[in-house]
Amino acid sequence: MLKQVHSSIPVPTGLWFIDAYADNSQDPMPHLAIYPPGLDPDSVVLVRVHSECLTGDLFSSLRCDCGSQLQKSLEYITKEKGVLIYLRQEGRGIGLINKLKAYNLQDEGFNTIDANHQLGFETDEREYQAATLILKDLGIKRIKLLTNNPEKVNSLIRDGIEIVDRIPLMIEPTVDSEDYLRIKRDLMGHLLD
């Protein structure tokens, strides 16, 4: 996986840089690194590794906490000159169509894990090696990681990234997300209150 392009985008908080990473320049779904000017790779960098969630990130779905986590992360990253790594692994790695099928099963009473299993998938199909490659390409070796997911922490450490601190990313549950967050905490080991 290589950096295919480095560009910039104006956002409400100012100008940000955006780098697209893929195996080839024709990949329609590259992973992204997004960061404001002033990123210092030699410092301990605040990092959010965020897996794509179209329904939460774009449409503010209340089924999950993804969109709120993304927005809160961008606020922190703006203040601390950190980086957001946006991984294109929708629906815990099962893709948008299967994620929507899982939503239908959840509407029938399955929890988020059992719905994935009914569709023939593991509880969580995501991988984080791409995030490690992006961090290394940016020259970042030591980070403060915005996450509640211990598997993300373990994966980055295993791949040679030093995590100086883990910053919790707590989002107030809604009526629609309460069971989902409880399942993440109780059955997936996410570090939630």
Residue 166: active-site member: no
**pLDDT value at 19 more than 70:** yes
State what percent of residues in the chain have pLDDT above 90.
Answer: 80
d(CA 109, CA 125): 22
* 89 CB-contact burial (10 Å; exposed 0-12 / middle 13-18 / buried 19+): buried
Count the helices and strands in the chain (H runs, E runs).
7, 7
In which residue ranges of the chain is CATH 3.40.50.10990 found? 2-89+128-186
| Strand-strand pairing, 45-51 and 83-87 | parallel
Please give the model's pTM, rounded to 2 decimal places.
0.92
pLDDT digits (tens, 9 = 90+) for 140-162: 999 999 999 999 999 999 999 99
- Catalytic residue, from 124, 159, 185, 193: name it: 124
Determine the CATH number of domain 2-89+128-186: 3.40.50.10990
pLDDT digits (tens, 9 = 90+) for 44-71: 999 999 999 999 999 999 988 899 999 9
Residue 92: active-site member: no
* Both tokens assigned to 20: 């697209």
- Catalytic residue, from 40, 126, 176, 185: name it: 126
pLDDT digits (tens, 9 = 90+) for 159-192: 999 999 999 988 787 787 777 777 777 767 777 6
